[in-house]
Amino acid sequence: MDASSQPAQGAPQAAVDAWRLLGTRPAKVFAMHIGYRARAAQKGRTPEAPGYFLKPATSLSTGGELVAPAGTEIFGFEGEIAIIIGSAARAVSEADAWGHVAHVTASNDLGVFDLRWVDKGSNIRSKGGDGFTPIGPKLLDATRLDPAAIEVRTWLDGELVQADSTSTLIFSLAQIVSDLSQLVTLEPGDVILTGTPANASTLSPGQTVEVEVTATATDGEQLSTGRLASTVRVGEQQLPPYSAQPKPTPEQWADASGRPIAEFQTAAEPVLDDDLREQLSSIALATLSSALRKRGLNNVSIDGLRSTQPGKRIVGTARTLRYVPNREDLFKSHGGGYNAQKRLFDDLHAGDVVVIEARGDNRSGTLGDILALRARHLGAAGIITDGGVRDLDVVTEIGVPTYHGGGHPAVLGRLHVPWSFDETVACGGATVQPGDVIVADGDGVLVIPPALVRELVAECIEAERAEDYIAQQMDAGERLDGLFPMDAEWRAKYEASQARAERA
């Protein structure tokens, strides 16, 4: 390490070790968001162009123990191939780019995902801390390598969990170097992490992640970086109150681990147990609507839709899906692969009601027979969309009650991009949140806040008893005046009749 690249006073020893490996203190450390095709498929989006974030040079290390702040618990690993710039590059072509690379090595893009909520995208807290970017242990001479035939593997406690090759990169290593150089001068020692393969996940304190990069040299020699080993420990450092505090949410656990979010959601007592579901099935929608109106809730109906199963009631819990207006580049990145629409329909449970925000635009299908079959197989109670339904006759035959804005033969991509699920949406003029209770029949569709359901049901059962009594009196020839609604005299008669019924 020459004098111009000497570490600053107090630089972390782990970073100094990495700089010694590189022979210089790098000016910049880049990391790709999504690099491999399998990773893009797993994420459900394919980037239109390479995307990066920056990491501090002090995040580099040569492996060993990473110390995370107190209170953190979501530690993600991402085995990667790192390339080291050997000569300055500015606006270089793809053909010339690889000539500016000096070395290739292994890397682990470690992250503390509890801290990602505050600066997702930049990742400065979650992935920029001291030691969060281990590299090594050996550098491979880039001039001896075919950049399209370099392999990376990752082990967690000795079990192989990631394996891929640069032959499956969305953007080649040369394209990555060329792309970055178009606006940023790449300098000797700069490090570029080129993305992680599928199945990046989490490790727990005490577990060991190892990453190895291998290649066959142009002269036939088998080359290896050796295994780069890293562990994690939760330290004693408490973050001050003005700093972002750890938030180990189900969303961050799912993002870091690559597993379904449902695995990390707290198993709460279901709002709709069998008794409550049965009671809701017997109460008129008009009665429920009146009780909601008494509580000041007037905008809780999803309007303007028709049902594939007239006369069949839906009672269930909302799972939401949001479509945004089609934009070709966004449909390319979010419409294909395992997108939000497919992920939601694969995660349905018995009694769920899919509620789709399609902005009231029915000039394209928002679901079709395949999704309806999946919903039926998983026991969904119904589907509600303020857009169109493709394969409407078949969806009707499948039998899952579906409220919709009409049939249409066009596919999703004509108008919609499946953007997100299990978040607040707008459907048919009503706001719907995941977990809301949905009740629907020939009178329409109601959205009930879950916290109100039990008291609402008790009130409605009593209201319908009173209405039954009034109907009996009407059949007996009584006048409306004083009976509907009941005045004090009729109320006393009603209560007396109920007391007699209970004694009997």
**Residue 391 annotated as binding site:** yes
CA-angle at 301, arms to 298 and 304, nearest 5°: 130
Question: What pLDDT, on a 0 to 100 scale, did the predictor assign at position 267?
Answer: 47
User: SS3 letters for 292-360?
Assistant: HHHCCCCCCEECCCEECCCCCCEEEEEEEEEEEECCHHHHHHHCCCCCHHHHHHHCCCCCEEEEEECCC
Name which of 288, 309, 328, 269 is nearest 449 in CA terms. 288
Domain containing 251: what range? 3-258
Question: What pLDDT, on a 0 to 100 scale, did the predictor assign at position 492?
Answer: 80
**Residue 273 annotated as binding site:** no
Q: Which of 22-36, 121-135, 380-394, 467-481 has the lowest mean pLDDT?
A: 467-481
Q: Tell me the mean pLDDT in the region 293-299.
A: 92
Q: Token pair of 207, please?
A: 């577990």
Question: What pLDDT, on a 0 to 100 scale, did the predictor assign at position 443?
Answer: 93
Where residue 334 falls among pLDDT bands split at 50, 70, 90? confident
Check pLDDT > 90 for residue 496: no
CA distances from 75 to 143, 160, 471 (A): 35, 18, 64
Check pLDDT > 70 for residue 403: yes
Name which of 193, 177, 65, 192 is nearest 129 in CA terms. 65
Q: Tell me the mean pLDDT in the region 452-464.
A: 88
Higher pLDDT, 355 or 258: 355
| CA–centroid distance for 275 within its chain | 33
Name which of 299, 290, 303 is nearest 444 in CA terms. 303
Check pLDDT > 70 for residue 445: yes
Higher pLDDT, 368 or 478: 368
Is residue 18 in some structural domain?
A: yes
Where residue 188 falls among pLDDT bands split at 50, 70, 90? very high
Is residue 289 in some structural domain?
A: no
- Check which CATH number belongs to the domain holding 428 and give it: 3.50.30.40
Q: Give the SS3 label for residue 117.
A: helix
CB distance 320 to 468 below 8 Å: no
Q: Give the SS3 label for residue 501.
A: helix
Question: 241: alpha, beta or left, given left = phi > 0 and alpha = psi -120 to 50?
Answer: alpha
Check pLDDT > 70 for residue 4: no
CB distance 212 to 224 below 8 Å: yes
pLDDT tens-digit readout, 137-178: 999 999 999 999 999 999 999 999 999 999 999 999 999 999
Q: Are residues 115 and 13 part of one domain?
A: yes
- Check which CATH number belongs to the domain holding 144 and give it: 3.90.850.10
Phi and psi at residue 357, to the nearest 5°: -90, 110
Burial degree of 433 (CB within 10 A; 0-12, 13-18, 19+): middle
Q: Are residues 199 and 55 part of one domain?
A: yes
Question: What pLDDT, on a 0 to 100 scale, did the predictor assign at position 17?
Answer: 95
Is residue 282 in some structural domain?
A: no
Where residue 3 falls among pLDDT bands split at 50, 70, 90? very low
pLDDT tens-digit readout, 337-386: 888 899 999 999 999 999 999 999 999 999 999 999 999 999 999 999 99
Give the integer Cα–Cα distance in Å for 213 and 79. 9
**Residue 422 annotated as binding site:** no
β-pairing verdict for 352-357 and 314-325: parallel
Out of 205, 235, 258, a domain closes at 258
Residues, the chain: 504
- DSSP per-residue string spanning 188-253: TT-EEE----TT-EEE-TT--EEEEEEEE-TTS-EEE---EEEEEEE-SPPPPTTSPPP---HHHH
Q: Are residues 126 and 14 part of one domain?
A: yes
Question: 466: alpha, beta or left, given left = phi > 0 and alpha = psi -120 to 50?
Answer: alpha
pLDDT tens-digit readout, 57-109: 999 999 999 999 999 999 999 999 999 999 999 999 999 999 999 999 999 99
pLDDT tens-digit readout, 195-224: 999 999 999 998 999 999 999 999 999 999
Q: Are residues 213 and 341 part of one domain?
A: no
Check pLDDT > 70 for residue 134: yes
Name which of 60, 74, 144, 65 is nearest 106 in CA terms. 60
Question: What pLDDT, on a 0 to 100 scale, did the predictor assign at position 471?
Answer: 80
CB distance 425 to 467 below 8 Å: no
The mean pLDDT of the chain is 91
Name which of 240, 86, 92, 82 is nearest 178 in CA terms. 92
**Residue 35 annotated as binding site:** no
**β-strand partners of 307:** 403
Check pLDDT > 90 for residue 248: no
Q: Are residues 360 and 304 part of one domain?
A: yes
Out of 448, 474, 493, a domain closes at 448
Check pLDDT > 80 for residue 268: no
Q: Tell me the mean pLDDT in the region 278-287.
A: 92
Burial degree of 370 (CB within 10 A; 0-12, 13-18, 19+): middle
Question: What pLDDT, on a 0 to 100 scale, did the predictor assign at position 249?
Answer: 84
Q: Are residues 465 and 415 part of one domain?
A: no
Question: What pLDDT, on a 0 to 100 scale, did the predictor assign at position 415?
Answer: 93
Name which of 372, 371, 365, 356 is nearest 412 in CA terms. 365
Q: Tell me the mean pLDDT in the region 307-318.
A: 94
Instruction: Please report where in the chains the tokens 């700069």 appear, as a residue.
Output: 190
Q: Are residues 121 and 51 part of one domain?
A: yes
Where residue 270 falls among pLDDT bands split at 50, 70, 90? low
- AA letter at 236: E
Is residue 293 in some structural domain?
A: no
CA-angle at 190, arms to 188 and 196, nearest 5°: 145
User: SS3 letters for 42-64?
Assistant: HHCCCCCCCCEEEECHHHEECCE
Rg, the chain, Cα only: 30
Whether omega before 485 lies within 30 degrees of 0, making that bond cis, reads yes
**Residue 479 annotated as binding site:** no
Check pLDDT > 80 for residue 412: yes
Where residue 498 falls among pLDDT bands split at 50, 70, 90? confident
**Residue 369 annotated as binding site:** yes
Q: Token pair of 181, please?
A: 């150089």
Instruction: Please report where in the chains the tokens 């501090």 appear, as a residue.
Output: 56
Q: Are residues 468 and 430 part of one domain?
A: no
Question: What pLDDT, on a 0 to 100 scale, did the predictor assign at position 6?
Answer: 53
CB distance 85 to 141 below 8 Å: no
Q: Report the domain count for the chain.
A: 3
Is residue 143 in some structural domain?
A: yes
Q: Are residues 317 and 194 part of one domain?
A: no
Out of 210, 233, 258, a domain closes at 258
Question: What pLDDT, on a 0 to 100 scale, did the predictor assign at position 1?
Answer: 52
Is residue 283 in some structural domain?
A: no
**β-strand partners of 55:** 29
Q: Are residues 466 and 430 part of one domain?
A: no
Where residue 477 falls among pLDDT bands split at 50, 70, 90? confident
Is residue 287 in some structural domain?
A: no
Where residue 468 falls among pLDDT bands split at 50, 70, 90? confident
Question: What pLDDT, on a 0 to 100 scale, did the predictor assign at position 182?
Answer: 97
CA distances from 119 to 30, 115, 193, 446 (A): 16, 8, 19, 38
Is residue 462 in some structural domain?
A: yes
Question: What pLDDT, on a 0 to 100 scale, did the predictor assign at position 82?
Answer: 98
Q: Are residues 192 and 54 part of one domain?
A: yes
Q: Are residues 340 and 234 part of one domain?
A: no
Question: What pLDDT, on a 0 to 100 scale, did the predictor assign at position 501?
Answer: 72
